[in-house]
Amino acid sequence: MTDRDLFPPIVTFVGKSNSGKTTLIEKLLPELLGLGLDVGTIKHDVHDFDIDIPGKDTWRHRRAGAKRTVLSSPTKVALIQDVDHDHSLDELIVYFRGLDLVVAEGYLSESKPKVEVFREEVYPTPLCQGDPNLIALVSSAPFDLNVPRFLPDDTAGLALFLKRHFQL
């Protein structure tokens, strides 16, 4: 059994803030699902965040010393755990067994296949010029980076490209 059998491939969507990454992913996911793929997502946040609510039971468990808390309902599961470092995609992939593909937003410095979402009005030149991990560019600007370029509204084409690229 190979890692590919256990863990799905990861594609990262990168670009500066306000370039349209989240909007693109939001429109891309239904296209990938329509191709019969089971997809998970990872959103990188450079800031601290907290999904726990002060005074609620999980918050009380953690305040009392629990190292990990899982909140479980008939329809969802959430893990709350403090960490001592920013986790890499390779560390996070264990949560995605059984899926076909993981779409990650952010993680520019990771050596994973990348799709850059680029808007000239946000920044003047693509971030991933010369990056060997760049597999596609999403932009209205006519940049030629020797990778396929998709217009921002061509999520169907991008979905099909990703399915073929990862041989899914």
pTM assigned to the model: 0.87
The amino acid sitting at 110 is: E
CB atoms near residue 155 (< 10 Å)? 20
Distance of alpha carbon 32 from alpha carbon 28, whole angstroms: 6
pLDDT for residue 3 is more than 60: no
Which residues have CB under 8 Å from 31's CB, separation 6+? 155, 156, 158, 159
The string of pLDDT tens digits covering residues 86-139 is 889 999 999 999 999 999 999 999 999 999 999 999 999 999 999 999 999 999
Domain 3-48+84-165 sits in CATH at: 3.40.50.300
pLDDT at 4 (0 to 100) = 56
pLDDT for residue 1 is more than 70: no
C-beta of residue 100 within 8 angstroms of C-beta of residue 8: yes
Distance of alpha carbon 134 from alpha carbon 15, whole angstroms: 12
Distance of alpha carbon 54 from alpha carbon 61, whole angstroms: 11
Query: What is the domain partition of the chain in residue ranges?
Result: 3-48+84-165
Split at pLDDT 50, 70, 90, the class of 163 is: very high
The string of pLDDT tens digits covering residues 21-78 is 999 999 999 999 999 999 999 998 776 666 777 888 888 888 888 887 878 888 888 7
Buried b (16+ CB within 10 A) or exposed e, 115-138: bbbbbeeeeeebbbeebeebbbbb
